[in-house]
Amino acid sequence: MTGSNISLASPIGVFDSGIGGLTVVSELRRALPHERILYVGDTARVPYGGKSSETVTRYGREISDLLVSEGAKMIVVACNTASALALPSLSSDYSIPMIGVLEPGASAAVKATRNGRIGIIGTRATIASEAYSKAISRINPDLSVRAVACPLLVPLIEEGLLEDEITEMALRRYLSPMLHEEIDTLVLGCTHYPLLKKAIGRICGPGVALVDSAENCALAVKAQLGPNPDQNDHSRLDILLTDSSEGFLRIAEKSLDLSIDSLSVRRVGT
């Protein structure tokens, strides 16, 4: 039974610390409906957003090794924290392409702004890395960038409190200073945040364009795969978690309407 995977196409490997990367999977499904996707959620060590660069890089390497051993043809780092902290040093270690969520989000924000004032929200680690601000100013150094860490949003989303007065209160506190500075573009710099798009849009109002890093990452993956994709339907979503997780399936199925073909738990690292 060693060859049980032989008939399956090489997957696009996708990883995140938890459920956030599923927003990228959802967009990949839309952009590339025939592709097989293998998703790893590092639920044994979730969240990454408050951890150090060294630790997040080590976790990213362990999971990338796993994806390569499973035959992935490309690795999508569907986590802004890992894209900011780990991707720069990981990308040269693998022979297959690696795509993060950060560069696609930064270039979409530059295209979207009209008044030159861009807001960025993300985890504490992503914001402290200044990776978005640097990526934006590499494209256009004249733009004004205001970045705010929103450490409570991931726990609120992981609890499924997508439309809730506690979440609303936290969002108002995080967003008010930027709105006061009249940003016209807001980068959702964490793959969890598209799940709050409705609440964020309500608070920001129609004058602020929301840049969804998940959506832009999926478009970058499509561009990387090139103009002549395999036309056969390999559509399939396999999920590996590093720890069993109840909340995972609930969010995947209810909020993102994803259909999962297989789900298993695999120990990584130790």
Name the site residues for a copy of itself (rule: CB under 8 A): 43-46, 50-52, 54-55, 58, 62, 151-152, 155-156, 158-159, 165-166, 169-170, 173, 243-245, 247, 269-270
CB of 19 to a copy of itself, least distance (A): 11
**Smallest separation, CB 79 to a copy of itself (Å):** 16
Tokens 């890992």, located at residue: 82
Q: Which of 79, 150, 204, 217 is catalytic?
A: 79
Cβ proximity to a copy of itself, 165 vs 257, nearer residue: 165
State the Cα–Cα distance between residues 211 and 104, nearest whole angstrom: 10
Q: 35 in helix, strand or coil?
A: coil
Distance CA 55, CA 42 (A): 13
The nearest distance, CB 43 to a copy of itself, in angstroms, is 7
Q: Considering the complex, what minimum distance in angstroms separates the CB of residue 135 from a copy of itself? A: 24
How many Cα atoms are found within 13 Å in the side-chain-facing hemisphere of 194?
26
Catalytic site residue 204?
A: no
Of the pair 118, 149, the CB lying nearest a copy of itself is at 149
Instruction: State the Cα angle at 194 between 178 and 158, rounded to 5°.
Output: 105
Minimum distance, C-beta of residue 239 to a copy of itself, in the bound complex (Å): 16
Q: What does the alpha-carbon distance between residue 220 and residue 104 come to, in Å, rounded to a whole number? A: 7
Query: Annotated catalytic, 79?
Result: yes
Q: What angle do CA 193, 261, 61 make, to 5 degrees?
A: 60
126 touches 132 (CB < 8 A): yes
Distance of CA 140 to CAs 116, 121, 179, 190, Å? 10, 19, 22, 22
Q: Which is nearer to a copy of itself, 155 or 229 (CB)?
A: 155
If DSSP codes are grouped into helix, strand and coil, which group holds residue 241?
strand
Task: Please report, as a single letter, which amino acid is at residue 74.
Answer: M
**Residue 195 burial (C-beta neighbours within 10 Å; 0-12, 13-18, 19+):** buried
Peptide bond into 47 cis (omega under 30): yes
Q: Which is nearer to a copy of itself, 71 or 151 (CB)?
A: 151
Q: Which is nearer to a copy of itself, 155 or 207 (CB)?
A: 155
Among the options 150, 190, 204, 217, which is catalytic? 190
Give me the active site residues, please.
79, 190
